[in-house]
Amino acid sequence: MNIKKTLIAASIGLALAATAYGAAHSPISARQAAMKAVGGQMRTLGGMAQGKVAYDDFAVISALEIMRDAAASARPLFPAGTEMGEETRAKPEIWADGSDFDTRMGQLLASLDAAIAAEPADLASYRPLFGAIAGSCKGCHEKYRAPEN
C-alpha cells in the first residue's frame, strides 16, 4: 500500500466510525448524521469545482471516498415508519413514490463510483463528474427534502 492509499484508508475508517456512531441512534438521526457527512465533503469538492481552491486530485479522491461511504450508509436509513418525528425534513413522498427515492440514492452512488474510478487528474476532467454528483443531490432534495423551518 502506498502512502496515498494508506491515507485514504485512514480517512474512510474515520468516516465509518462517525457513521457507526450515528447508527446507534434512531434511523432519523442516523440518516441526518450520514447526510451531514455527505454534505461536509461538498466544501472541498464544490470549492475546487468552482475554482476557489487549487485543484488537488488526492483531496478530491479522498473526499469522494468519504462521501460515497456516507451516502451508502444513509441509503438504508429511510425505512417505512420514519416519516415523522425528530424534525425530519424527509417528505412523505419518499414512501409514497415506491422505489424512485432508492433509485436516486443508487444514482448518487453510481456517480460517485464513476468519479472515483475516473481518477480525474485535472479540473477539466473533474468538473463534469462533479456536475453529475451535485445534480443528483439537487434533484433528490427538490423532490424529497422539505425546506428548513
* Residues binding ligand HEC (CB under 6 A): 28, 31-32, 35-36, 38-39, 42, 88-90, 101, 104-105, 108, 133, 136-137, 140-141, 144-145
Cβ 84 to ligand HEC shortest distance, Å: 10
Nearer to ligand HEC, 129 or 140 (CB): 140
69-87: b or e for each residue (b if 16 or more CB lie within 10 Å)? Answer: bbbbbbeebbeeebbeeee
Helix 27-40 and helix 42-49, axial crossing angle in degrees, nearest 10: 30
Nearest-approach distance from CB 87 to ligand HEC, in angstroms: 7
The residue (of 8 and 38) whose beta carbon lies closer to ligand HEC is: 38
Name the residue nearer to ligand HEC (CB basis): 56 or 87. Answer: 87
